[in-house]
Amino acid sequence: MNQPLSATGGQRNYALVLSTLAFTLCFAVWTIFSIIGIQIKEDFNLTDTQLGLLMATPVLTGSISRMFLGIWTDRLGGRKVFAILMLLTSACVYLLTFANSYIMLLIAALGVGLAGGSFIVGVTYTAAWFNDAKEKQGTALGIFGAGNVGSAVTNFGAPFLLIALGWQGTAQIYATVLAIAGVAFFVLAKEDPLKNDRAEKQQQGFWEQLSPLSDLRVWRFSLYYFFVFGAFVALALWLPHYLIGVYELDVKTAGMIAALYTIPASLFRILGGWMSDKYGARRVMYWTFIASIICTFLLSYPSTEYAVKGIDQTYNFQFEITLVGFVFLTFVLGFFMSLGKAAVFKHIPVYYPKSVGAVGGVVGMIGGLGGFLLPLTFGMLNDVIGVWQSSFMLLFIISLVSLLWMHSAIRKAERVEFREDREERDLPELSTPNSMVLDDWRPEDEGFWASKGKRIATRNLWISIPNLFLAFAVWTIWSILVVKMPALGFPYSQNELFWLAALPALSGATLRIFYSFMVPIFGGRRWTAISTASLLLPCIWIGFAVQDTDTPYMIMLILALLCGFGGGNFSSSMSNISFFYPQKEKGGALGMNAGLGNLGVSGMQLLAPLVIAASVFGGIEGDPLVIQEGANAGQEIWLQNAAFLWVPLIIIGSIAAWFGMNDISSAKASFSDQAVIFKRFHNWIMCILYLGTFGSFIGFAAGFPLLSGMLFPEVDPTAYAFLGPLVGALARPAGGIIADKLGGARVTFWNFLLMIIGVVGVMYFLPIAGTEGNFWGFFAAFMVLFIATGIGNGSTFRMVPVIFLNQRKRELGDNDEAIKQGNKESAAVIGFISAIAAYGGFFIPKAYGTSISLTGGVSAALVSFIIFYAICGVITWWFYSRKNAPDPC
């Protein structure tokens, strides 16, 4: 292995100064919308929510890009990556000046956001120079992090440029300065001392460089950074707007006062690095969270008038945070946040000296996502709640939860981790107690299975099912929302509504690709609890967003994408349950998990129409909307209840999974261990077949209510839509059980023929050629389709473990190792094909919309379905069900 080069003190300080100056300029560019956004809002007539999205979009790019930029910096070095990044960002800032619509502004803002990725490039570059001076590394990174003062540069200087040159001229000045800085950095900066290690890094694959991310310590750092950095960026963007709205200041004064928050939050990061070196990061984090709770609580208090009725008269008085008090509290908040930011990043080069880019990139990405989500949420809270201080109320909740979680983790470390003499003590709140880890798990051993295995597996299954039920409910929530939105006054076209119905499937399918590999890496118990809890984000956010018909369509698109969290859960849930059951019972168990979990679709479509018709939460859920047209004009609808309904159930389900499920130690595997499935031919074959079964199920479920309402406007589709997913879900366990007895391939083959018959029936009852059609015939044909998809879902999942276990036995012999490898591969395949199949939930609704746009009807889409099912039937027959098939199952 190459040895790192040594560096002198002068060389280290020279590199630190250059990287800090470069980061300062990049950070100034990254927050440019906090000032020019004020004039852009007037020029483009934007709402608060639209402005919040515009200010948050660069933060999104800057956050997500950090992981990739960190890896590239590990491989190529900070000098090259930093220079290229600044030049590319300057070009994007210049192109911003040509935007003439809100959509173009958002696209340009994505490019501007690359400036935020400079943070991890500079951290990696600076840490490399101080790699042989560990005692100074925390302070050095604190000094570099002080480049956050770039936001103050923008708050001070940009208002004057804005008044003199307009927002376009301001952006052009910023682009020119950044381009010059990029060239200067490439010329003046030196290669860091770890450049000899780059050859080794360049030999590693992308996933191998991400291997440290399986260490739970990384996610602990990410949690803290979400608040200390994400909230800092959010407030840096939001404060000028807040000061103008609350205290009626002009843009110059508001920018200068906002700088009094950003300057200490940047410069005192240096002190935070030194204090972390001297007193320890944990103590600094305690100080940070306690101070943040106090400050945000006081800032949360809106201007309030009190009337106290006395004996003879009423005493009136008022409480409010004055401008002086506001400035003082934000100064204190910025000071302690700066300490916390340094404390978080103090650890990374110590624990991961050769993976600073990858690990720091992920931590920075999560923190940056806080900077994206929070301004967006601030704007939405203003539009929905109508209280300026709601932004600080949200920050108070986040800081309080963070402190309680951290303190709980520390106490548990003292009581549990040390008592059990664990090696892993860095994230005890996510550690698995010994009683929840199954070190001895042999489901194929009949004696073991009968004595204890079946009981444990059954308990895990029956906790998994309701969590999967909730995931499917959240995933398909838009199938009901889009039906009700037009009558309530939401100004969306039919094609836009189909997009909202289809996007959750698109994001859910993409997430499934990653979720399918999570169980062997993190453990089924832990991942089930965390992934279920993640459903709270879209549910709570949707509950607020749908209360206002002026909520921008872009926000709705983002919320539709977030509902994909529910879709992603399926692949990890099925992968997890597959580890618990023996080969002979996998079909039934997976069918039960998936089938009853799929009931979440019908549960949503049954319960949502009921709860939106009344104020079932006693008024705390907010005001209703009123139907604007039709026979039910004037009726009140609480559309938000369709989302709020699931919040308490998600909390209960997450807790049940955390305390009631198990991890299987033998099921542990890295991504590279599981990635072997991409070389397996039958993995890709099963992707096609499962797209035909499950993809059809979720696609029909997502599109049926809206399609029915459009084709048969005299019928209320929400009264019947739940029946399709219901019969499909109930048919899934039956498909698995029948496949256990008759063979998965045989059942799957005949099932595709039944699906073709179902589509032909739907076409027969369509309202075409001037006819009114027949809704009940149309409905009955769809019921046949739903039943067929359910049976096919169960039978295809029965095929997977048989195929891969038989292949491993042929390769390794009939032994325990073959069984172990077969189980791991089949679990990974089940998760992966679930991911690919979920794209059906996107393609089917979009096929309806595209067919209507191009031909005026849906017949063209239905014909394409018939052709695809015929292809699936032929594939099943040739490879698996015919006589002398190469892999009968």
Which of the listed ranges 54-58, 68-72, 225-229, 825-829 does the model predict with the highest average pLDDT? 225-229
Show the tokens assigned to 37. 């956004």
- Enumerate the β-bridge partners of residue 664: 438
Query: 626: which DSSP letter?
Result: E
pTM exceeds 0.85? no
CA dihedral 105, 510, 556, 387 (to 10 degrees): -90
CA distances from 533 to 118, 336, 659 (A): 32, 29, 14
Name the nearest CA neighbour of 275 among 228, 351, 342, 182: 342
Q: Given this model, what pLDDT does residue 197 score?
A: 62
Q: How far apart are CA 58 and CA 685, in angstroms?
A: 40
What does the pLDDT average to over 236-246? Answer: 82
**DSSP state, residue 629:** S
> Are 789 and 694 a contacting pair, CB within 8 Å?
yes
Per-residue confidence (pLDDT) for residue 427, from 0 to 100:
40
On the 0-12 / 13-18 / 19+ scale of CB atoms within 10 A, 814 is: exposed
Q: What is the mean pLDDT of the chain?
A: 79
Find which of 190-204, 366-380, 387-401 is predicted with most confidence, using mean pLDDT.
387-401
Strand partners, 871: none
**What tokens appear for 19 in the block?**
């990287």
Q: What's the count of helices (H) and strands (E) in the chain, helices before strands?
A: 37, 6
Q: What is the pLDDT of residue 695?
A: 85
Return the HEC string of 149-196.
HHHHHHHHHHHHHHHHHHHHHHHHHHHHHHHHHHHHHHHHCCCCHHHH
Name every residue whose Cβ is closer than 8 Å to that of residue 430 and which is 6 or more positions away in sequence: 216, 219, 220, 526
pLDDT of residue 447: 87
345: helix, coil or strand? helix
Q: What is the CA radius of gyration of the chain?
A: 29
Residue entry with tokens 């996502």 = 369
Mean pLDDT of 381-398: 82
Q: What is the pLDDT, as a whole number, of residue 424? A: 41
- pLDDT for the residue numbered 603: 84
What does the pLDDT look like over 496-549, one tens digit per residue? 787 787 788 778 877 877 776 677 667 788 888 888 998 998 998 898 888 888
Average pLDDT (329-341) is: 85
For residue 276, the model assigns a pLDDT of 75
Express each pLDDT in 703-744 by its tens digit: 787 788 778 887 777 777 778 878 887 887 788 788 878 888
Q: Report pLDDT for 361.
A: 67
DSSP string, 117-133: GHHHHHHHHHHHHTTT-
- Give the pLDDT mean for 195-217: 56
Pairing of β 437-438 and β 663-664: parallel
State pLDDT tens for residues 283-311. 888 888 899 999 999 888 887 776 777 77
Share of the chain above pLDDT 70, in %: 85
Q: Average pLDDT in the 72-81 region?
A: 80
pLDDT at 7: 66
Of all helices (H) and strands (E), which one includes residue 446?
helix 446-448
